[in-house]
A and B are shown apart, each in its own frame.
Chain A
Amino acid sequence: MHTIPGRRLIMALFLIFLLLPIYWLVNMSFKTNAEIVSSMTLWPHTPTLQHYKRIFTDESWYSGYINSLEYVVLNTIISISVALPAAYAFSRYRFLGDKHLFFWLLSNRMAPAAVYALPFFNLYSAIGLFDTPWAVALAHCIFNVPLAVWILEGFVSGVPREIDETAFLDGYPFPRFFIKILIPLIASGIGVAAFFCFMFSWVELLLARTLTSVASKPISAIMTRTVSASGMDWGLLAAAGVLTIIPGALVIWFVRNYIARGFALGRV
């Protein structure tokens, strides 16, 4: 792969630009509130873990992380399991309305969450799912299922069709072929799709906040509580922010070799 002159400098500058704001957040999370407000320090002079301790001991804080993870995991499971057969169908067969259906799915990935916030609120209140992880998990399907279908379709198309035909000739019934042969072959694709479902469900706030009130409130909504009568609790806010970055950073590490291909939706 050919690169350009001065690439090391450009890359270094860009990475610094990416990391500096994150560093500042981490830096603040280890400072006392007095230090944050009173002086400008490039690193914590009196490092403290008080903000992290507060989050890990106060149930109203740490339950937010559990709630968020709950609906994210639920959503990922639902999205992948319904998307797998559909991805296979789109990749292998032509059927009535396939192109229109594919475009319709794609268009849902692009629908603004703000449009759906209020109708979702009505819908999930009406069927009694409001303020449960199911409501958020199902609501997030609207953009994650199309994405999963899209990514998986790319990966299924990468599997030679001869493999299907051989399996069917060997007398594999369809479900057994699917589970025993196809799924292991596109395991990395499933990983990538799961990563993206996890990611988009994890970063979304508007729907998650609208569809929950007390019991399933996500961490990102709880973070808005740090404004109190005595002013902003900046240190606590920063610590909560840092803790929301960690799950993402962990999953990136596992899929680092597939990130680029995944972002191209399996179509490179």
Chain B
Amino acid sequence: MDKTINQKAWFLVLPVFLVVAFSAVLPLMTVVNYSMQDTFGNNQFFWNGVGWFKELLDPSTDLGGRFLASLGRNLLFSAIILAIEVPLGIVVALSMPRDGWSVAACLVILALPLLIPWNVVGTIWQIFGRPDIGLLGYVLNSIGIDYNYVSNALDAWITVIVMDVWHWTSLVALLCYAGLKSIPEAYYQAAQIDGASRWAVFKAIQLPKMNRVLLIAVLLRFMDSFMIYTEPFVVTGGGPGNSTTFVSIELVKIALGQFDLGKAAALSLVYNLIILIVCWVFYTVMTNAGAERRPVEGGA
């Protein structure tokens, strides 16, 4: 099914273009403007060229040190949660009941954490993990594990990671489930006739079929974990010390806390650029995967 070339289609796209341009391009221009200037307050600005960017990428300065440290923490965080959520999501999707009312029940419960406002997610875990009034913190401490996410950096990390797994594994699971549902029963029958093992079925049938949805899952999870703000902010406030200060938290501290517009703007642009590059890589891989798949499907 080839698409027809029709330049009038632009008229249909125009509303979207205008709305998004209003919310994206205008503010971004402000950011670019700020990133090149310095201010002593009173709305007096002067030209600073690429000064902020130099500082930002130089770890020996205060700004650069903070940025690179938070970037490192953020990448580590994203890597850990991807390593946990993707396999766990696949396992959960494979564990879905086959049919009946329990399917609907499982779907609704799985989707529940996704619909909770992010700061409430933070509140839930803040309460749940507290040693004095939270079930988790209380139980851990009473069986002799010294757990306190407010003062111990490792505990804070574990809390934030478990919270993210709680919050988002369902997304991966639901995506994988959608992928699994699209596999025709005939494939399994063929595998059975061939005497394929459980693992072989997974590797040869289920995994390839989940390829595309897994890419979407990884893309969404990477992006969202890379710009995570609200949940760790509510639970740990970026602490103890700076141990859970991720890039967004650092950025909001500089922009809205210290009102350091130039620094914040430079940081925003570099941050956005990183996301854009990763996004583009994923997008290209995804569209290529789709293009490669199509002829095979047509032949089958």
One digit per residue, 1 when the CB lies within 8 angstroms of any chain A CB and 0 when it does not, for chain B 19-56 equals 11011101110110000000000000000000000000
Whether, in the assembled complex, B135 has its beta carbon less than 8 Å from a beta carbon of chain A, the answer is yes
Q: Provide the bound-state CA to CA distance between A224 and B174, in Å.
A: 32
Interface status of A18 (Cβ within 8 A of chain B): yes
Q: Please report the C-alpha to C-alpha distance between residue A95 and residue B9 in the assembled complex, in whole angstroms.
A: 7
Which of A82, A105, A110, A224 has the most B CB atoms < 10 Å from its CB?
A110
B272 touches A92 (CB 8 A): no
Encode A132-148 as 1/0 by CB contact (under 8 A) with B.
00000011011001100
Judge whether A244 is part of the interface by a CB distance below 8 angstroms. Answer: yes
Query: B212's closest neighbor in chain A, by CB?
Result: A267
Prevailing SS type, chain B contact patch: helix
Contacting pair A89 B13 (CB below 8 A): yes
A191 to chain B, nearest CB (A): 15
Q: Is B294 an interface residue (CB 8 A)?
A: no
Confirm or deny: B15 has a beta carbon within 8 angstroms of a beta carbon on chain A: yes
Q: Are B109 and A3 in contact (CB under 8 A)?
A: no
In the complex, the answer to whether A24 meets B23 with C-beta atoms within 8 Å is: no
Q: Determine how close the nearest CB of chain A comes to the CB of B132; give it in whole angstroms.
A: 8
On whether the beta carbons of B31 and A7 are closer than 8 Å, the reply is no
Q: What 0/1 pattern do residues 14 to 43 of A give for CB contact below 8 A with B?
A: 110111111011001000000011001010
Query: Residue B179 at the A interface, CB < 8 A?
Result: yes
Give the total of A residues in contact with B, Cβ under 8 Å. 101
**Interface presence of A263 (CB below 8 A):** yes
Is the Cβ of A114 less than 8 Å from the Cβ of B23? no
Q: For the complex, what is the distance from the CA of A113 to the CA of B123, rounded to whole Å? A: 20
Query: Which of B111, B125, B251, B283 meets A21, CB within 8 Å?
Result: B125
Contact of B174 among A21, A96, A117, A263 (CB under 8 A): A263
Q: Per-position contact with A for B213-254: 1 when CB-CB < 8 Å, else 0?
A: 100100000010011011000000000000000011101100
Seed contacts A36-B133, A95-B10; 4 additional CB < 8 Å A-B pairs: A110-B223, A110-B276, A115-B31, A122-B27
A-B contact pairs, 8 of them (CB 8 A): A11-B95, A82-B15, A107-B280, A111-B24, A206-B229, A220-B119, A247-B115, A263-B171
